[in-house]
Chain A
Amino acid sequence: MINRPETRDLLAEARKVLLDSLVPELGGERKYEALMIANAMGMAIREQELREAGEPETTDVMLSRFLAGHALTEESGQGEQTLARVLRERTLDGGDRELRTVLRAMTETRLKVNNPGYLK
């Protein structure tokens, strides 16, 4: 189905109007609320961009490889659940460099959506 302009484009433009035209007219609690809305819209835009770039899948593949490499059976499509469970059970060495790389990749992928400015 052709349905243009694309959702990401619509969201980006709506966010621009909100920030450029409406926020300067607002004060106090209303301004805070408008900025929260802009923040949520920004996350939705970035999440869509990252999905189109295949980044979450790349992180999932990295996690699956890590689990397989440590002879850990991943419940279908539940890599994060499996990793959280084996960490809780303390069957993984917390100092494992590869583990830390996977944890960092998962966290950074989420931060690229939620707050990319926070990444050093």
Chain B
Amino acid sequence: MSALEDTFATFISRQTGASDATVVSFDKLSGGAIQDNFGLTLDLEGGNRPGRHEFVVRQDAPSGVAESLSRPQEFRVLQAAFGAGVTTPEPLWLCEDTAVTGQVFYVMSRAAGSASPRKLVKSNFSDEQRRALVRRFGAELASLHSVRPPDDSLEFLAMPNPDNPALSRVALYRRYLEEIGEPHPVLEWALNWLEDNAPEPGPTVLCHCDFRTGNYMLSGDRLTAILDWEFAAWSDPCEDLGWLCSRSWRFGADEREVGGIGYKQDLLDGYREVTGISISPAIVSYWEVMALVRWAAIALQQARRHMSGEQRSLELALTGRMVAQMEYDLLNQIQELEDGQ
């Protein structure tokens, strides 16, 4: 570990022009099956950032999942989101020279607070705090969704089906299931439903595609950072809203649809305040169904990494056994949507 911390400290002092960098603390951060994240606190002498700074260094873990971005791509997405006023860690420096640590990595500012889903969902927030927080989520997504194609810095992001991003997703998840090579009739059935019930698309915008409880940090009741941008894509704005509301991310607080924190109408109100656009809750519900299929496909990919021997891991193996939960939710949620029509 000490060689790695020295390498990162030397890299940062070169970027800042510091004459000296003293490591105050260095630790591997929890979370991130796809990336390794390290916390690094440095005392920098001289240069353009003198003083004590807390950084996060993010580099590839041994293997990723099919749809995740590379570190340089993720860095550029983070720059675009930060530039649009989204509350993200400040993206600082990208190192694409693998001679430095053996992996591509980038450095960003470290945000205060906690991202632990169970801790956040169990927080003793007042109704007012919940409303404010969830409206803030809506406002953050609205800012992110102001980034639209074409954007030269994001040319690596594929454009979805011009007629309907939802149908692009359906095609993608069918391909994932084919690649996984085991039968999942409930997922096939749900994909058919998604194909038949695709709503009129919204504008194509930059979506985070993994904005959920567990991927943002709160300090008290204050949002300090939206994290984990490796799944960002051009898509329909409702993909982000539906993902955040999916039952999979409520961590037991099922009655609070928005990540176990608050309520959907407050989220949509926060979104409308920034964009002037009123999103239909029914369209968000459609994308919640899409979210369940997507999470199931990702979970199957993770289990496959274990079963193939690529990355033997009890956690990945157990993730594969979670797919029945998504399938159960799909059966219930589609029935509820049909009954409500």
Contacts and interface: CB of A to CB of B under 8 A. Distances in A.
Given A84-B184, A94-B192, A94-B193, A39 B318 contact: yes
B314 A37 contact: yes
Given A103-B189, A103-B331, A104-B331, A114 B325 contact: yes
A119 B315 CA distance: 22
B196 interface: yes
A104 B190 CA distance: 12
- Most chain B Cβ neighbours within 10 Å, of A88, A119, A120: A88
B321 interface: yes
Contact of A84 (B188, B315, B324): B188
B30 interface: yes
B20 interface: no
Given A90-B192, A99-B189, A114 B183 contact: no
A106 B314 contact: no
Contacts of A90: 192
B156 interface: no
A30 to B, nearest CB: 13
Contacts of B192: 87, 90, 94
Interface size class on chain B is: 20 to 34
B184 A118 contact: no
Contact of B328 (A37, A87, A111): A111
A87 B189 contact: yes
Tell me the interface secondary structure of chain B in the complex. Answer: helix
Interface string B316-333: 011001101101100110
B317 A40 contact: yes
Given A83-B183, A103-B185, A111 B325 contact: yes
A36 B314 CA distance: 7
Nearest to B195: A90
Tell me the interface secondary structure of chain A in the complex. Answer: helix
B324 A111 contact: yes
- Most chain A Cβ neighbours within 10 Å, of B185, B193, B321: B185
Contacts of B318: 36, 39-40
A36 B35 CA distance: 21
Interface residues of A, number: 31
A40 B314 contact: yes
Contacts of B324: 107, 110-111, 114-115, 118
Nearest to A29: B30
B188 A88 contact: yes
A100 interface: yes
Contacts of A29: 30
B320 to A, nearest CB: 9
A80 interface: yes
B286 to A, nearest CB: 15
Interface of B: 30, 174, 183-186, 188-189, 192-193, 196, 314-315, 317-318, 321-322, 324-325, 327-328, 331-332, 335
24 contacts: A33-B314, A43-B321, A80-B183, A83-B185, A84-B184, A84-B188, A85-B183, A87-B192, A90-B192, A94-B189, A99-B189, A100-B335, A103-B331, A106-B185, A106-B186, A108-B328, A110-B324, A111-B324, A111-B325, A114-B321, A114-B322, A118-B324, A118-B328, A119-B328
User: Across chains A and B, which 7 residue pairs bring their CB atoms closest together, nearest first?
Assistant: A84-B183, A87-B188, A110-B324, A80-B183, A83-B185, A114-B321, A81-B183
